[in-house]
Structure 1
Amino acid sequence: MPPHNPAKTDNILVLGAGELGMAVLRELAARSAASITVMLRPSTLYSVSADKHQTLLELQALGIEVLPGDAVNDSEDQLAAMFSGFDTLVSCLGFVAGAGTQLKLARAALQSDVKRYVPWQFGVDYDVIGRGSPQDLFDEQLDVRQLLRNQSRVQWLIISTGMFTSFLFEPSFGVVDLSQNTVRALGSWDTAVTVTTPEDIGRLTASILFEPTLVNQVVYTAGDTLTYRQLADTVDRLLDRTVERVEWTVPALKADLVAAPSDPARKYRAVFAQGKGVAWDKARTYNAERQIETTTVAQWIEQHLL
């Protein structure tokens, strides 16, 4: 049973201002009367990078406060002290922060006075995938879930979004490779994948945070859910071409991973090829049930490739 006293959302701290973090921050600033703060590494605040300077200018224009903090180098005690005083903590710091960071942030959140924690689990359904998957970082995500479920002081929400839509078209990932006029199926042509754009994740996260009935649960979103056959058909139709279709089977992708066990792209391909926990029915998602429009793969192609 969800608690009858949902956490307040008067004072929100977002960790990170990368692609996903900025999408969440923009939407929170646009729709919220709450105070919004973002934690950024001190090196970002004093960087001479034009991109980072532009990010800081945008945060200032949005009225978002900046809190210096380093998820990797600061201790759990230091992070807990920073998190205290905020009602809701949303982590947009992904796997690039390194192994152990997700657990460290979760422990710091539970040690702090924060009322609610939204960990960085904007991706697949780790419960369904289970332990020991080809992507070894996923086990840590299950550790985070176990930590949150085994306590009752801090409320939590997990938002499952599937893969970033753009990742399907990332040449290094190898699914849609337009330079080679090729679409590759991970697992089989009937294997499905759920995808959502960062912009939609930002909008939906901002909406989910202000729904008091959503407490201590996994919330599913989807921009689109489609098979690799449907993906190839969509690319052919919208780009007026006939792509070469190549099937990457699970055994072949596992063999690729054995040959280069530390290659992140090979880990992800092997996980998605297995088809477990990487796709769910869009009709049963948070956004579909509330009739919130999200960007389909076809719309993404029209916006970015035409």
Structure 2
Amino acid sequence: MQAANSNVKQRILVLGAGELGLAVLRGLAARSTESASITVLLRQATVQSSSMEKQQEIDVIRTLGIAIEVADVTDASVEELAAVLRRFDTVISCVGFAAGRGTQRKLTEAALTSGVKRYIPWQFGVDYDRIGRGSPQDLFDEQLDVRDLLRAQSRTEWVIISTGMFTSFLFDPAFGVVDLPAGQVNALGSLETKVTVTTPEDIGTLTAAIVLHSPRVINQVVYTAGDTLTYGDLADLLERVIGRKIERRELSVQRLQADLEEMSDDNLRKYRAVFAMGRGVAWDVARTFNGIHGLPVTSAEQWARSNLSRS
């Protein structure tokens, strides 16, 4: 009887084990011991790395009972990647923009060539359909190419998981919205413009819930949200968390587009301009997967209370 059960286990392959990949692996391991076997695809250089941080990641992966497959998504051909992917039932890509232009298309082509039953591309971000082509962030057009490839075929099932921005990124000084030393929030577009955020930990838990959900989720865009808030709300919650007054500044779309024209290759300026437009970057928490199923998530204020010190 046990052997029969092991035969029906879903074989899941996760591509990459960065911040998001590790969160997805943890999420899967926490709920799928009976229903799935989990493997992660890593580069040989990562597995053999002498870096203490990399070795700790490998230890975590092994402790979770996750198998390791080795291939380099950058160097391998579509056919070589397809040969690896076809041994699995579900492939979840956690390989982001950092892997370079063309990688999202290449991985999708490899998944479709492999004939894998279900593919979850790396689309853990904004609603690219609503933003459309030709946005200030030119990398987004490749994400629409991926959607076109998936929708144009019927052999491989797909799920797109839209999560909004990583919660930590909203507070990251480099992003330029929250400037705690100056006691300032720089609202992208206006103080009424909204943004949806989810923590990587919640994305990992929710991705596992979506992938292992019964009835099976297929051929649709699924939304998550730890929080949806305006930049005015953000300033208010910062005042509550750090206990001092926050100045509110509005950065108009026109100003942010002008900033981008000055440095057209600056990725952060591209992101700021897109988010200022407010289209496809926010959605109602009530209609998300976690909202519909009553799953607990971390709000922006909860994140801030855990990660920002009163000063």
Query: Are residues 9 and 285 of structure 1, via their aligned partners in 2, closer, same or farther at CA, if it must alter by over 3 Å?
Result: farther
- 1:133 aligned onto 2:135: yes
| Superposition pairs of residues 173-188 of structure 1, within 5 angstroms | 173-188=175-190
Structure 1 residues 165, 9: closer, same or farther in 2, change over 3 A?
Answer: farther
Query: 1:100 matched to which residue of 2?
Result: 102
Deviation (angstroms), 1:48: 1.3
Matched residue, 1:55: 57
Residue of structure 1 equivalent to 2:208: 206
Question: Are 2:263 and 1:231 equivalent residues in the alignment?
Answer: no
For residues 133-152 of structure 1, what are the structure 2 equivalents within 5 Å? 133-152=135-154
Are the aligned partners of 2:115 and 2:155 in contact in 1 as well (CA < 8 Å)?
A: no
8 Å CA contact 1:164–1:196 kept in 2: the answer is yes
CA–CA separation in structure 2 for the residues paired with 1:150 and 1:89: 19
* Residue 249 of structure 1: how far off its partner (Å): 0.7
Aligned twin of 2:10: 10
Per-residue CA deviation, residues 47-77 of structure 1 (Å, 9 max, x unaligned), is: 1111101000111111111111111111001
After TM superposition, give the deviation of residue 179 of structure 1 in Å: 2.1
1:3 corresponds to which residue? none
- 1:268 matched to 2:271: yes
Counterpart amino acid of residue 219 in structure 2: N
Distance 2:46 2:180 in 1: 34
Amino acid corresponding to residue 28 of structure 1 in structure 2: L
Separation of aligned partners in 2, 1:177 and 1:16:
32
TM-score calculated relative to the size of structure 2: 0.95
Q: Which amino acid aligns with 2:152?
A: N
The residue matched to 1:139 in structure 2 has which SS?
helix
Q: Does 1:290 align with 2:298?
A: no
Q: What is the 5 A alignment of 1:63-78?
A: 63-78=65-80
**What secondary structure is seen at the aligned counterpart in 2 of 1:90?**
strand
Q: What SS class does the counterpart of residue 37 from structure 1 fall into?
A: strand
Q: Look up the match of 2:26.
A: 26
Aligned partner of 2:3 in structure 1 is none
Could you give the per-residue CA deviations for residues 104-130 of structure 1, whole angstroms, max 9, x where no partner exists?
000000000311000000000000000
Q: 3-state SS of the aligned residue for 2:49?
A: coil
Structure 1 residue 9 displacement after superposition: 6.4
Distance in 1 (alpha carbons) for counterparts of 2:168 and 2:185: 14
AA matched with 1:236: E
Distance 2:237 2:29 in 1: 35
Contact 1:197 1:295 in 2 (8 A): yes
Separation in structure 1 between the aligned mates of residue 17 and residue 264 of structure 2, nearest angstrom: 30
Give the superposition deviation at 1:303. Answer: 1.2
Q: Which runs of 5+ in 2 are unaligned?
A: 1-7
Q: Which runs of 4+ in 1 moved over 6 A?
A: none
* Secondary structure of 1:59 counterpart: helix
Provide the aligned length of Structure 1 versus Structure 2. Answer: 299
| Cα distance in structure 2, aligned partners of 1:35 and 1:293 | 25
Structure 1, residues 98-153: CA drift from partner, whole Å, max 9, x if none?
A: 11000000000000031100000000000000000000000000000000000000
Show the counterpart of 1:5: none
For 1:299, the equivalent position in structure 2 comes to: 302
Q: Which amino acid aligns with 2:223?
A: Y
TM-score by length of 1: 0.96
Instruction: Give 1:237 deviation, angstroms.
Output: 1.4
Unaligned runs of 5+ in 1: 1-7
